[in-house]
Amino acid sequence: MNPHEESRCENCIIRELNALRSLKKEELKAISDSKVSRTIKKGESIFKEGEKLNGVFCVRDGVSKLSKLSENGKDQIVKIASKGEVMGQRSLIAEEAANLSAVALNDMQLCFIPKENFTESLSKNPEFIQALLKNMAHELKMADDVIVNMAQKTVNQRVAGILLYLDTHFGTDADGYLSLVLSRNDIADVVGTATELCIRTLTKFKKEGLIETEGKRIKISDREGLDQLWEGV
């Protein structure tokens, strides 16, 4: 594989996956020429809430958490972004500072698309806007659903929910363990609870035969059981 080819947006897998797919080839080329491809290591920050972004980030590889610090000092993870997703678009569109912080959950490859390229396409390419609009509409629905779940489901249910989410979105490795490995603390931050309670809940699930664990790795052994728990049967 040719690394030079690989690093160009025209051939980037992202083109196929995200809102940018509506960009015409020439536009992608223009963006590609100006873009900066970055490697981000696990745990490193991509941007912080309150920061002015001067571009958007396309996830080429790896996974990132998007979180917001609550007034009580706890981080709440609002979204997990992976290959093909764009981060920072909301802030650029709204012309506001970032509302969320982005941190790499594992080693990542990112494309950086400068603000100018982004806003130019925004004003000149109707298909791009349409795709963006649809993307935002989808994100909004997701967010509304999360609100309902946060407000109405118990910690038990929400922990079951994140496990199911990780399974369906990132799959499992050869041994059947969830491919995306989160720390107990990160799981707690997604669920919106204390780390201790999160750990206890996982321990309980283990005793009930819903999951198995090995270190921080988790294997779902009874998906149906977790489903039922999630749905509140």
Partner DNA sequence: CGAAAAAGATGACTTTTGTCAGTTGCTTTC
Partner DNA sequence: GAAAGCAACTGACAAAAGTCATCTTTTTCG
Q: Which residues of the chain form contacts with DNA (CB under 7 A)?
A: 72, 154-156, 183-185, 192-197, 199-200, 202-203, 213, 215-216
Asked if 68 interacts with its own copies (CB under 8 A), we say: yes
Return d(Cα 60, Cα 101) in angstroms, integer. 18
Return d(Cα 1, Cα 129) in angstroms, integer. 33
Return d(Cα 62, Cα 83) in angstroms, integer. 6
Asked if 198 interacts with its own copies (CB under 8 A), we say: no
Asked if 147 interacts with its own copies (CB under 8 A), we say: yes
- Tell me which of DNA, its own copies, none is bound by residue 119, counting a contact when its beta carbon lies within the kind-specific cut-off of 5 to 8 angstroms: none
In angstroms, give the least distance from the CB of 129 to its own copies.
5
- The torsion angles phi and psi of 29, rounded to 5 degrees, stand at -60, -45
Asked if 136 interacts with its own copies (CB under 8 A), we say: yes
Residues numbered 16-55 forming contacts with its own copies, rule: CB under 8 A: none
Candidates 18-26, 27-35, 50-58, 138-146: pick the segment binding its own copies (CB under 8 A).
138-146
Return d(Cα 166, Cα 80) in angstroms, integer. 10
Residue 97 in tokens: 């500072």
- Tell me which of its own copies, DNA, none is bound by residue 39, counting a contact when its beta carbon lies within the kind-specific cut-off of 5 to 8 angstroms: none
- The end-to-end CA distance of the chain, in Å, is 50
Of these, 3, 4, 72, 215, which contacts its own copies (CB under 8 A)?
72
- Tell me which of DNA, its own copies, none is bound by residue 148, counting a contact when its beta carbon lies within the kind-specific cut-off of 5 to 8 angstroms: its own copies
- Tell me which of its own copies, DNA, none is bound by residue 184, counting a contact when its beta carbon lies within the kind-specific cut-off of 5 to 8 angstroms: DNA
Cβ-based neighbours of 218, under 8 Å, separated by 6 or more: 163, 166, 177, 178, 181, 202, 211, 212
Residue 100 in tokens: 């969320």
Element at 40 (helix H, strand E): strand 36-40
Q: Would you tell me which residues interact with its own copies (CB under 8 A)?
A: 68, 70-72, 74, 76, 78, 90, 93-96, 99-100, 122-123, 126, 129-130, 132-134, 136-141, 143-153, 191-192, 231-232
